Amino acid sequence: DSGVTQTPKHLITATGQRVTLRCSPRSGDLSVYWYQQSLDQGLQFLIQYYNGEERAKGNILERFSAQQFPDLHSELNLSSLELGDSALYFCASSVTINSYNEQFFGPGTRLTVL
Amino acid sequence: GQQLNQSPQSMFIQEGEDVSMNCTSSSIFNTWLWYKQDPGEGPVLLIALYKAGELTSNGRLTAQFGITRKDSFLNISASIPSDVGIYFCAGQAQGGSQGNLIFGKGTKLSVKP
């Protein structure tokens, strides 16, 4: 158990819909990272938040957004969903702002878009 | 975007055999991390490397940060059935944005008892 929690574990929805994925980092970790894992693309970094502020952006679509709240939990919002958005979404956390510090991954949310 | 070349893509080995996998990049990396992912789970950190030439062990696992800072390898000695899973290398490129870890596509390891 990494100490990072994610809900829900599974999510099935239809194209065009909007969903919210939730992540709670390890106790004491200020950085939260979101990743998308699909079969053909591997693990792709989406976005990082540190202590409530956006710090780095990766391959995140404009239809996707995230935020980190004062209690440090984070939410990833996916809207206007397409079939291709079906994937595993992982949240990771680390102590500092920098990925020099190891990132600890949650168990993931499996999103299926029908 | 930038990617790491991880090889081999998959390995089928007999229990007790040693395993070696590696990652290469066209650019210099400041950090190399090795993760293992079991089916339905998130990646779990195995070893972290921070200096060129660094050689670090974690039980039967040994990883090295290449001298050129463009590669890393992971060795598993005397493999056992629970070593089955997908192994990912990851790193932070020099000059890359903080927090942006780049991942290899993984090496899928199968172990025959």
Query: Of the given ranges (A8-17, A32-41, A62-71, B32-41), which has the lowest mean pLDDT?
Result: A32-41
Residues of chain B positioned with their CB less than 8 A from the CB of A2: 42, 44
pLDDT the model gives residue B100: 73
From CA A58, how far away is CA A53, in angstroms rounded? 15
Structure token digits, residue A17: 């819909």
From CA B87, how far away is CA A70, in angstroms rounded? 34
A90 Cα distance to chain centroid = 5
Best mutation site among A99, A103, A104, A109 for testing chain B: the one with the most B CBs within 10 Å?
Answer: A99
Please report which confidence band the pLDDT of residue A100 belongs to, taking 50, 70 and 90 as the band edges. low
Residues of chain B positioned with their CB less than 8 A from the CB of A109: none
Do A83 and A113 contact (CB within 8 A), yes or no?
yes
In the predicted model, what is the mean pLDDT of residues A16-36?
95
Residues of chain B positioned with their CB less than 8 A from the CB of A3: none
B31 at A interface, C-beta within 8 A: yes
Residues of chain A positioned with their CB less than 8 A from the CB of B103: 42-45
Contact B42 A2 (CB under 8 A): yes
Please report which confidence band the pLDDT of residue A5 belongs to, taking 50, 70 and 90 as the band edges. very high
By C-alpha distance, the chain B residue nearest A1 is: B44
Best mutation site among A103, A109, A110 for testing chain B: the one with the most B CBs within 10 Å?
Answer: A103
- Higher pLDDT, residue B3 or B55: B55
Closest by CA to A102, choosing from B56, B64, B101, B59, is: B101
Q: Give the distance from residue B90's alpha carbon to the nearest chain A alpha carbon, in angstroms.
A: 10
pLDDT tens for B4-42 read 899 999 999 999 999 999 999 988 888 899 999 998 889
Between chain A and chain B, the number of residue pairs with CB atoms below 8 A apart is: 73
pLDDT tens for A46-90 read 999 999 999 888 889 999 999 999 999 999 999 999 999 999 999
